[in-house]
Amino acid sequence: MRHGPVQGTIPDFWPKKKKHQFMSKVKKENLNRCELEELRDEAYECASAYKDRIKQLHGAKIKRKTFEEGQWVWLYNSRTKLYLDKLKSKWMGSYQVKRVGQFGEVEIEDFDDSE
């Protein structure tokens, strides 16, 4: 929740001491807001640095798969995550690699559909 600046009128009949206390309280609240904003910015920077570090660690664990033409492979069906069948196989297979692209894309050949 974000609050705007304190606005108010100070009556003329207030004694000077009360007026001074009120003004010092307003200044303290403004300083507290500035400190809170600084803390928020610092927390954001720390969180983004942490996320970057974790992303690098996870990225380092990823192993690149290389496929060759003629290689037999199994296809992982990611849609089976939606079903609750524990014993249902998530792998469909077996397919033969037909073409390997320049950027790692793989074209597979399904022998069941060709007949």
Q: Are 62 and 104 in contact (CB under 8 A)?
A: no
Predicted confidence band at 54 (pLDDT cuts at 50, 70, 90)? very high
- H and E: helices and strands count for the chain: 2, 3
Extents of the domains making up the chain: 13-63, 72-114
What value does the CA radius of gyration of the chain take, rounded to a whole number of Å?
A: 32
In this prediction, residue 16 has a pLDDT band, given cuts at 50, 70 and 90, of: low
pLDDT at 56: 93
The single-letter code of the amino acid at 13 is F
pLDDT band at residue 115 under the 50/70/90 scheme: very low
- Residue of 111 and 56 predicted with greater confidence: 56
Residues 107, 101 contacting (CB under 8 angstroms): yes
Highest average pLDDT, of 44-53, 86-95, 98-107, comes from: 44-53
Between CA 70 and CA 99 the distance in angstroms is: 8
pLDDT value at 48 more than 70: yes
Whole-prediction pTM: 0.41
Q: How far is the CA of 67 from the CAs of 44, 73, 105, 108, in angstroms?
A: 41, 9, 9, 11
Using CA of residue 80, residue 81, residue 87, residue 90, what is the dihedral sign? positive
